[in-house]
Structure 1
Amino acid sequence: MSTEKLARAHNLLEQGKLSEAETQYREILALEPGHASAHHGLARVALASDQPAAAAELLQKALHAEPGNPDHWLALARALTLAGFPDDAGKVLAEGQAAGVLGDDSGPKAELPHHAKKELADANKAASRGQFRRAEKIMADLVRRWPEHFEVQQLLGKILARQQKHREAIEPLYEAHKLDRKNTEVLAILGSCLQSLRQLGDARKCFEQVLAMEPDNAGVHNQLASVLHSLNEDQSALEHAERALAIKPDFPSALINKGNALRGLKRTDAAREAYQQARHLQPDYFAAEANLGTVDRDDGHTLSARDHYKRSLELKPDQPDILHNLGSVHMDLGEPEEALACYREAARLAPHRIETLEAVGDLTTWADAEDKHLQALTEALDAGHLPLQEQVFAGFALGKALLDLGEEDAAFQRYQQANLCARKLYGKHQPELAIGLLKVFGGFMKPGFLEKRKDFGDTDACEIFVMGFSRSGKSLVESLITGDPDITPCREQRDFMVFGHSRLGAEKNKFSSRHLINYIRELEADESRREAARYLDQYNPERMPRTLTNPGNLPLLGFLPLWMPKTPIIFCRRDLMDLGLSCYFKRYAQGHEYSYDLAALGQEIRLNDAFIDLWLEYLPNPMLEVHYEDVVRQPEQTARTIHEFLGREWKPEYLDVLDTRQDLAAALGPAGSVDAPMALRDDFIGFSKPFHHRLEPLVKGYESINIKKTSDE
């Protein structure tokens, strides 16, 4: 029984489910207090939770119970090093060697004969000249004749690793490690290969073993930081990156990993500073440019992000990760053809990169159930060894593929699996900001309050807000509006949201209601006009007509009667079931945590509707409601209505955009969106009907939100 429970605990630990793993280990120890492996497992949980001192105590118990296991000695030395006791760590290693556990049996075996050494030198020389085929041939023969010799296995592993043949390199590197457990170079190369193959748990073990023997190895601290970031253990990743920099201050790669960890911890400005320091140290460093692109994209600076990614690819072409990111920027810019070209090239360079396979599948149709990529995704996900983030990518990719193939039940199960992983990865949705804004603005939105402020703000109506829930048809409405060449589509640019949040006293998802209440109460007419001018001068200085569709603007529209009371607003609505399921089937990035749970999704849609109802009742701005179903079934009539509402001339050629990208439109699933004009599909209306029996949590979540109006003055 304990064997099965131990295996289950180890599996949970590898998946990053620390609390569940800890429970399993403690249950074992309740039955067998001296169980060495359970103590060791608990120590790994403690290390993953940044508690090295606690880990050291647990490892001492494991060592007491099983003194002949070298892993306990090495892990204890590692924990002591992290806890700030490197001298004690050295003593542990010395004691382990004196006890014979880390002694002669872990050292290299007898030397090779002279003629074999000559062949070894020839292979090494051939590899140094790039003659890898010749080097491999020599080494294959040597391994056949001298498999028990460390030098042979080590060199074969190194030659394979240098050619990026990471999978083939693992076996000889493992053999070399067994022949000399104290050789840190072999462990470091083995860890790098495992990391490249996304076997992150095993890579982590290799790097930790190196650091237990070489606590001041800056390179391995840096590699471990990269692995920990991939495992979403960003605080630990930051500590190892900073340790690498303390040992080796001018270390651009460590600055990149420091920036990655900081970005994972939501410290964007500090991350950008780390990337800039790396670029300063090495001006032609492709990784610095790429990561500057990523933080710019995070902050909504899409064009700047594109330029950084292109610069990175100029410095080092054929980077699948950066090609993928550039593709995503093209998607942000409404350039799906360019995005697909980037994704396909990234997939050619890295055919097993799951995120890229998902991106290609989103923009194409899966037509063959025997497709090798589809089978590879299924095998990888079902094997259970993928990191949580890649489980999310694979689950959504398989959901789209199975939906394309008409396997609805299997598709829903994959989407459900993917969303469950996403919840574990990103956590629960926190709706406090939206609820707080609804209460405050709802308290103010009374006719008397607005009547007193009817002379507030700038009457310029250059901005056009197209508002609604994600997947409600905002992009379709925008394409109908921006068929007029004089109107610029800004899609989901964050201009108004960023400006509005700066007036909330907001920090992350929390804000001071008192701060907002005081701002609204104390705002005078002249200052309201200055606020409007500040916004427009910063984001639309030429006062050009443009559309804004970011859903994050919706809760902030209460500022419009104070700043821009003539700005038109178009609200988009859609059937609850279709809307909810299209969101559930879409893999959103972090920040849309509500979409991973049907009940939370229903609640968020209800809040969205509550804001629309509030604004329709009280805002003085020109407002229009449109429904997704009308846009799709009657595009010309809807477009005429919208242009008449905006006071702009209607021309039939504005609908020409709906004849574009027909192949792409046909390939998209019901969750697909490219924020670009394309042909319409009426088969997405009612697409949720086969799934209605699964959507009860969505409906209950929607009905669970009881919106009560509050009054502040």
Structure 2
Amino acid sequence: MPTPTGGFANAMATAYRAGQMEQVIALAAQAPETGSADEGIMLWLGLAQQTTHRYDDAAATFRRLSQMRPEVSAYWNNLGLACRQSGDAAASEQAFLTARSLAPGDAEVLYNLGLLYIQQRRWLLARLTLLDAVDLSPHFIEARLQAAHACYICGDNNSQEAMLAGAIDWPPQPAEQALILAAMLAVQGDPDAALRTLAQAELPPEPEAGIMRLRLAAQRIALHERSNQVELARDELQQLPLSAIDRLPPEAPCARAEGWSTHAALAMRAADHAAAAALYRQVLAVATDDQSRASAAFGLAAACNRQGHRDEAWQALLAAHAAQLDIARDVVPELLAADSQPLQMTGRIVSRAAYASWRRLSSPDGRKSPVFVVGFPRSGTTLLEQMLDAHPDFQSMDERAFIHALTERMELVGQHYPADLATLTQTEADQLRAVYFRMVDRVLPGLGQHRLVDKNPLNMLCLPMIMRLFPQARIVLCLRHPCDVLLSCFMQPFRSPAFMVLCSSLQRLARGYVQAFEQWYRHVEVFAPHVLEWRYESVVSQFDDHVARLGQFLEVADASPMARFAEHAQGKRFISTPSYAQVTQGINRHAVNRWHAYREQFEPVLPILRPLIDRLGYTE
């Protein structure tokens, strides 16, 4: 016959499984005095308290349980959950760490700890913890999604893609997670999967469901705009009028910000810059996190710049970079030191003497090697990529850091990059090329006989790897006036934490720009690669001549399809770089000498840039 307290525990379990949480709590209150120390009663009480959002009470209950049975990891895990939900982050972390020490193979504990780190914006710890959870349980979808999110914030694109492998087959996600997943799928260049994720999102109960429908609609419209489907975006925007956004309750700032941002982006597309600026100011007034503040401030700067309001544009840029620096502080705190080097590859140099010691290996010829499009970001690389992609002989894969990933692969197996390029065996070099083409095949499974275009601006810093694996490759270096490049970088919301730091001030950006080109020219002198310099200002003024010159360099019989790049770009579903809208508009000179409007701000950095301005053949 069950003991009295055992009978209460059984009754509470039955009520809990039936969803009768208040009955569970009432039964606990009716239990005999000795029931307050009964493990079963306390367990069901704590679970019911958590379910009914009595987080302080749940924390107290699970704290007693963990003191009674300190060897039970599940009690510490539940204590961590209750403390996290009640806002006691320190106690939550300690409880999860204790649970992990008791059950190191429990992926659920690591997942909960990772969520705590996300809540605290401790992104590096969140990434490592959640990746460990996925290692323990590869089919734990919630852990994969949150690990991908942490990798996304940390700029770990390769791990993010690995975490999202197979996401197309995942079951529908709760709406909040669906918004995160859709954003990541879009960045990976799969807007169709992103839209499907939004369409299948599971809504919360009313009235939250109404707010979430608006957020889902705003992200769907933003995806259409980002995919250059502007008319479709405008059609759907009619279902999201400003009046509906204005009627949202004050406790829905995210929905307000997302709705206004969507209207602002399409106002910019329609050249209604004053309306866009007003909307971005509204977003800034309600923004609750650094990412929202940064995005809105960059948008406001662009709108003010188009109106000729330079001072307000510059102030908005300073606010945007301050917000991005706060994001970077959580991810790459070591780079915030004044003497840090965000472009760490600039310090990786191969000397003439080192190159002379390289073991001679066989390699593909020029036509079987990728065409590499390099240059500092915002130098016209996306324009050139779309020109090449418009030609039937070529196929681009959008912007991928595959060459950089090979340098990381060397380091992971104990080889030092670039020093150990000298001693690579033929087998090791072949294996690195195979790894590269496997990564390519995942994004371009139909490459076939097309010549691959690998456009990644900062591959200019990985020239030793390119020359080791593809020494006969054709490389196009995109150039543009350094001040125009820096202004354009300063006005863009880059996603890489290291680039956020690099662009946090014009001085730091100018130093990084000069360091990148110093490394490039040193390596050009060492390796003597097949390089064509593609100067933006000359291209826009003598377009046909430069298309012909490009065709000759790449040994293309008919280069004329490249001239139809704008039409080609309009037909592409996704272009990942900030130039996604500009490249659909054809050639124009609007981007030439833009920096003159901000010459006052550039005066302090001109001494840093002057030697390179002269070397590149530009004038101030």
Tell me if structure 2 keeps the 8 A contact 1:453–1:562: no
Alpha-carbon separation, structure 2, partners of 1:661 and 1:426: 32
- Residue pair 1:470, 1:551 contacting (<8 A) in 2 also: yes
Question: Residue 265 of structure 2 contacts residue 276 of structure 2 at CA under 8 Å; is this kept in 1?
Answer: no
Residue 320 of structure 1 corresponds to which residue in structure 2?
179
Against the structure 1 CA distance between its residues 517 and 332, is the aligned structure 2 distance closer, same or farther, given a 3 Å change threshold? same
2:321 alignment counterpart: 419
Deviation at 1:459, TM superposition (A): 3.2
Equivalences for 1:274-353 in 2 at 5 Å? 274-275=133-134, 280=139, 287-288=142-143, 290-291=145-146, 293-294=148-149, 298-300=156-158, 310-311=168-169, 314-316=172-174, 319-330=178-189, 340-341=223-224, 352-353=254-255
Letter in 2 for 1:274: A
Percent of residue pairs bearing the same amino acid type: 15
Write the distance in 2 (CA, Å) between the matches of 1:380 and 1:554: 40
Question: Cα–Cα, structure 1 residues 506 and 404, in superposed 2: closer, same or farther, change >3 Å?
Answer: farther
Aligned to 1:519: 420
Aligned to 2:511: 603
CA distance in 2, matches of 1:662, 1:246: 54
Which consecutive unaligned segments of at least 5 residues does structure 1 have? 1-127, 130-150, 152-183, 193-205, 706-713
Question: 1:546: how far off?
Answer: 0.8
Tell whether 2:430 aligns with 1:530. yes
> 1:496/1:662 Cα in 2 relative to 1: closer, same or farther (>3 Å)?
closer
* Distance (Å, rounded) in 1 between the aligned partners of 2:151 and 2:450: 24
Match of 1:397 in 2: 299
Residue 440 of structure 1 pairs with residue 352 of structure 2: no
For residue 678 of structure 1, what is the aligned residue in structure 2?
Answer: 584
Give the AA of the match of 1:492. E
Offset of residue 676 of structure 1: 9.2
**1:522 alignment partner AA:** T
Deviation at 1:561, TM superposition (A): 3.4
Residue pair 2:56, 2:82 contacting (<8 A) in 1 also? no
Alignment of 1:139-158 (within 5 A): none
Aligned partners of 1:476 and 1:677 also within 8 Å: yes
Task: Say if 1:324 and 1:342, in contact at 8 Å, map to a contact too.
Answer: no
One-letter amino acid matched to 2:325 = R
CA change 1:387–1:292 in 2 (3 A) is closer
* Structure 2: stretches of 5+ with no match in the other structure: 1-18, 23-45, 67-75, 196-219, 227-232, 246-251, 330-334, 442-447, 613-620
Q: 1:502 to 1:301 in 2, by over 3 A?
A: closer
Selected match of 1:500 from 388, 393, 407? 407
SS in 2 for 1:623: strand
For residues 547-576 of structure 1, give each alpha carbon's deviation from its aligned partner in whole angstroms, at most 9, with x where no partner exists: 112234222212333332101111111111
Matched residues in 2 for 1:619 and 1:341: separation? 44
Give, in whole Å, the separation in 1 of the partners of 2:438 and 2:364: 15
2:390 is matched with 483
Measured after TM superposition, the shift of residue 310 of structure 1 is: 4.4
CA distance in 2 between counterparts of 1:502 and 1:341 reads 36
- Decide whether aligned partners of structure 1 residues 468 and 645 sit closer, same or farther in structure 2, where only a CA change above 3 A counts: same
Q: Which amino acid aligns with 1:422?
A: Q
Show the counterpart of 1:261. 117
Change (3 A) 1:633 1:533: same
Distance 1:243 1:379, change over 3 A: farther
- In structure 2, the residue matched to 1:637 is 545
Contact 1:440–1:517 at 8 Å: present in 2 too?
A: yes
* Structure-1 separation of matches of 2:609 and 2:517: 10
* Contact persistence 1:252–1:279 (CA under 8 A): no
Q: Tell me which amino acid in the other structure corresponds to 1:642.
A: L
2:490: which partner in 1? 584
Partner of 1:627: 535
User: Which stretch shows the higher mean deviation, 418-427 or 490-499?
Assistant: 418-427
Structure 2 residue matching 1:586: 3-state secondary structure: coil
Change (3 A) 1:254 1:437: closer
| 1:494-553 deviations in Å (ceiling 9; x for gaps) | 22111123335699xxxx9xx4475244346x4575356544554457675211122342
Q: Which SS does the other structure have where 1:396 is aligned?
A: helix
Deviation at 1:421, TM superposition (A): 2.7
Residue of structure 2 in register with 1:122 after alignment: none
Contact 1:374 1:398 in 2 (8 A): yes
Tell me which amino acid in the other structure corresponds to 1:480: M
TM-score, structure 1 length as denominator? Answer: 0.56
8 Å CA contact retained: 1:483, 1:657 = yes
- Note if contact 2:377-2:489 (Cα within 8 Å) is conserved in structure 1: yes
Does the 8 A contact of 1:467 with 1:550 survive in 2? yes
Residues 1:564 and 2:492 are matched in the alignment:
no
Contact 2:403–2:436 (CA<8 Å) still a contact in 1? no
Could you say if the C-alpha distance between residues 459 and 436 of structure 1 is closer, same or farther in structure 2, counting changes exceeding 3 Å?
same
Paired with 1:272 and 1:435, the residues of 2 have a C-alpha distance of: 25
Which residue of the partner structure matches residue 526 of structure 2?
Answer: 618
Amino acid at match of 1:221: G
Aligned pair 1:374/2:283, yes or no? no
Contact 1:253 1:278 in 2 (8 A): no
Task: Find 2:555's aligned residue among 638, 647, 650.
Answer: 647
- Structure 2 CA distance for aligned equivalents of residues 411 and 253 of structure 1: 46
Residues 607-653 of structure 1: CA deviation (Å, up to 9, x unaligned): 22113322333324311111122333333332222121011222423
Q: Which has the higher contact order (CA 8 A, sep 6+)?
A: 2
| 1:228–1:495 Cα change, 3 Å | farther
User: Which letter maps to 2:520?
Assistant: I
**Could you list the per-position Cα deviations for residues 330-352 of structure 1 after superposition, in whole angstroms to 9, with x for gaps in the alignment?**
38999999962388789969873
Larger Rg: 1
Cα RMSD of the aligned pairs, angstroms, is: 5.1
Structure 2 CA distance for partners of 1:505 and 1:596, relative to 1, 3 Å: same
Q: CA deviation at 1:585?
A: 1.1
Provide the residue aligned with 1:170 in structure 2: none
Q: Is the 8 A contact 2:388 2:395 kept in 1?
A: no
Residue matched to 2:34: none
Distance 1:689 1:212, change over 3 A: farther
Aligned to 2:515, the other structure's residue is in SS state: helix
CA distance in 1, matches of 2:456, 2:532: 17
Length-normalised TM-score, structure 2? 0.63
User: Which residue in the other structure is 2:460 paired with?
Assistant: 554
Cα separation, 2, equivalents of 1:370 and 1:338:
16
Total equivalences in the alignment: 486
Conserved 8 A contact 1:479-1:657? yes
In the aligned structure 1, how far is the partner of 2:95 from the partner of 2:611?
A: 45
Cα 1:583/1:364, change in 2 over 3 Å: farther
After TM superposition, give the deviation of residue 413 of structure 1 in Å: 0.3
Is the Cα–Cα contact under 8 Å of residues 467 and 551 in structure 1 kept in the other structure?
Answer: yes
